Structure 1
Amino acid sequence: MNRPAPHTLRTVTGDLPVGSVGGPVLAHEHLVLDLDRRGDGAAVLHPELHAAAVTAELATLRVESGLALVVELTCRGMGRDIGALARISRDARVAVVAATGWYYEPFHTPEIDAGDVEQLTGVLVREIEGGIDGTGIRPGVLGEIGSHGDVPTPSEAKVLRAGARAAVRTGLSVATHAQLGRGGLAQLELLTGEGLPAHRIGIGHQDLLDDPGVHRELAAEGAYVAFDTVGKTSYQDDRTRLRLLLALVEAGHADRALLSCDISRHGYLLDEGGQGYGHLFRSFLPRLRAAGADDDLVDLLTRRNPLRFLTGASEEDN
């Protein structure tokens, strides 16, 4: 099995040594996306219409905030365009890790109904080993593999199990979509039940779930807890996100938190008056610092944690 080399990230422009990532990482973003189910074109980041604005934002963040890496979690059935990701990465001079997997059930593709868990595992392994859409560009993470509700549907359970098996076979990690933060514990049980260690799992959208007890339980099991919709105030205000993050830190689990903004429609771009990919750096992290976070904690949350999540390394390794 062709696994990533130790301490190496698979990016859309080639392998990248972890040690070369000296700046922050956005742990859950979308640069190209199509989730349009209403026909209004809102939940879209088009590879031609919006790529220039996306590239400009990333390039600016590279200069202003040292942005070094974006984990791009657009997967099968979400409008993934691997060629566009490579162009954005090269033009912005920001590394990008691409993904494979399946989103939650409303966006499942026909192959999911037609295949069993092992057949779907094979689909993912082939992309991881051979590249996406004939490009030879290989994903460096599985995600965002999704469910909605407190318990995954049978179809969602199928793709979660397939994602876990593919991760075990290929040495990648799994990032999940837990709709509105719900169902994370059930996701973790399914994924670890397939033999995937908890430290190779990031449970998504936990900043939308106002339940510090669940966050502590996920972290205590060894999973990463993603506060990854920072700035999406229509879902949750950032004051609540900050309170939840601080509670997790104060409980001794700072090494299990991931941060990002999950830009998932063009209206969120700065060019269109939205908060942009830089909201984490320009707004949320200053609030975190004002609450007492020092440079080491910020580096842990924004660089070391996502790198350990992607590679399976321990804190001592970076």
Structure 2
Amino acid sequence: MPHLTTVAGPLPVSAVRGPALPHEHLVLDLDRTGDDAAVLDAGRHLDTVTSELAALRAEFGLSLVIELTCRGMGRDPRALARISAESGVAVVASTGWYYEPFHPDEIGGTPVEQLTATLVQEIAVGLDSTGIRPGVLGEIGSHGERPSEPESRALLASAHAAVATGLSVATHAQLGRGGLAQLELLTGTGLAPHRICLGHQDLLDDPAVHRELAARGAYVAFDTVGKESYQSDDTRLRLLLALLEAGHGDRVLLSCDISRHGYLESEGGQGYGHLFRSFLPKARAAGVDDELIDLMTRRNPLRFLTGADTDDDAPATNANTDTDTESDTEEI
């Protein structure tokens, strides 16, 4: 039986009976301007985040959050452990490096081999001297159609570390761009495509790219659901239905990417529950059945993390269907 590595230790996949959110942030700090917007602070927001997750566990059976705040993003593994314990929702922590504007000094001109060793060490012994081990590499970032040179080194190091440790890699593709280049770079190391998730593809209005990524075996993340200032949910739904109609339901991951305290429900935002309360009902109304929703929201995240099918996995089924953004330095 495959196991996940969570902030509370190993967890058998059989224990995850409800949906997962595969790309979220529970604690982070990306403030570079002093306006405090791109922050989820362990001191100020931890109780609110915990309450939101606990409510989703009670209402929708939320069982797992993959938390992609990595090195240089203000991660706090002890806070993640507390959120998980108090909410009753399993949390998988991450390691790696975000895209270049947020690279810490340690990236510099450091060779890929040394960066790889840093990641492998964290995976083996835990994050920031806590003993809390990461269960995924992410969100490993790039911006533009091709990664910059430092971003390429970070991606390559993540891929080599994934091959060495058996973890999977989740990426940040700025505004959905560059996913094909990321996939090419990552798989060139020998990392299998089904251990890769290309991020933010719901911000790229290009169904052909989505089909190609899925056909190559990678996971396609529609992971900014509810961020209407970047993309409308109506467009996201259209893109999702097109990918499902092409037969790629087994390669879809859905999440909300809560990355600012203003997105929390307590501050009038859409919250972590927007996927369940708003987007999935629209998908059901468009003909997406519960079996396919379970595939996208539970079985796919587990298969992405472990590389193995769940015991009750079933073949993907197609949906029965009839049918300028914010500054990209702010996209998380």
- TM-score in terms of structure 2 length: 0.93
More helix by share: 1
What letter corresponds to residue 155 of structure 1 in structure 2? P
**Equivalent of residue 281 in structure 1, options 276, 281, 290:** 276
1:247 is aligned to 2:262 = no
SS at match of 2:106: helix
CA deviations 1:54-103 (Å, max 9, x no partner) are: 00000000000000000000000000000000000001010000000000
What letter corresponds to residue 157 of structure 2 in structure 1? A
1:258 is aligned to 2:249 = no
Correspondence 1:307-318 to 2 at 5 A: 307-314=302-309, 318=313
| Residue of structure 2 equivalent to 1:69 | 64
**Equivalent of residue 152 in structure 2, options 157, 182, 194:** 157
- Mapped partners of 2:22, 2:66: distance in 1: 5
SS at match of 2:44: coil
- Mapped partners of 2:311, 2:206: distance in 1: 30
Deviation at 1:316, TM superposition (A): 6.7
- Mapped partners of 1:256, 1:313: distance in 2: 13
What letter corresponds to residue 145 of structure 1 in structure 2? I
What letter corresponds to residue 76 of structure 1 in structure 2? R
CA RMSD after TM alignment? 0.9
Q: Name the % identity.
A: 73
Deviation at 1:115, TM superposition (A): 1.5
CA deviations 1:243-300 (Å, max 9, x no partner) are: 0000000001000000000000000000000000000000000000000111101100
SS at match of 2:220: strand
- Mapped partners of 1:301, 1:173: distance in 2: 17
| Residue of structure 1 equivalent to 2:14 | 19
Distance 1:125 1:317, change over 3 A: farther
1:117 is aligned to 2:101 = no
**Equivalent of residue 82 in structure 1, options 77, 85, 94:** 77
Contact 2:62 2:89 survives alignment (8 Å): yes
What letter corresponds to residue 188 of structure 1 in structure 2? L
**Equivalent of residue 301 in structure 2, options 265, 283, 306:** 306
CA deviations 1:143-195 (Å, max 9, x no partner) are: 00000000000000000000000000000000000000000000000000011
Deviation at 1:121, TM superposition (A): 0.2
Deviation at 1:37, TM superposition (A): 1.1
What letter corresponds to residue 305 of structure 1 in structure 2? N
1:190 is aligned to 2:185 = yes
* Aligned structure 1 segments of 4 or more residues deviating by more than 6 angstroms: none
- Mapped partners of 2:311, 2:48: distance in 1: 38
| Residue of structure 1 equivalent to 2:321 | none
Equivalenced residue count is: 313
1:127 is aligned to 2:122 = yes
What letter corresponds to residue 95 of structure 1 in structure 2? A
What letter corresponds to residue 272 of structure 1 in structure 2? E
Deviation at 1:114, TM superposition (A): 4.2
Correspondence 1:190-269 to 2 at 5 A: 190-269=185-264
| Residue of structure 1 equivalent to 2:48 | 53
- Mapped partners of 1:124, 1:256: distance in 2: 26
- Mapped partners of 1:135, 1:315: distance in 2: 30
Contact 2:109 2:150 survives alignment (8 Å): no
What letter corresponds to residue 234 of structure 2 in structure 1? R
- Mapped partners of 1:37, 1:141: distance in 2: 26
- Mapped partners of 1:295, 1:277: distance in 2: 20
- Mapped partners of 1:133, 1:274: distance in 2: 31
- Mapped partners of 1:160, 1:169: distance in 2: 14
- Mapped partners of 2:223, 2:260: distance in 1: 15
1:290 is aligned to 2:263 = no
- Mapped partners of 2:19, 2:46: distance in 1: 22
| Residue of structure 1 equivalent to 2:161 | 166
| Residue of structure 2 equivalent to 1:9 | 4
- Mapped partners of 1:212, 1:316: distance in 2: 31
Contact 2:302 2:310 survives alignment (8 Å): no
Deviation at 1:314, TM superposition (A): 3.5
Structure 1 segments unaligned to the other structure (5+ residues): 1-5
Deviation at 1:302, TM superposition (A): 0.3
- TM-score in terms of structure 1 length: 0.97
Structure 2 segments unaligned to the other structure (5+ residues): 314-332
- Mapped partners of 1:178, 1:71: distance in 2: 17
CA deviations 1:11-45 (Å, max 9, x no partner) are: 00111000110000001000000011111000000
What letter corresponds to residue 73 of structure 2 in structure 1? M
What letter corresponds to residue 160 of structure 1 in structure 2? L
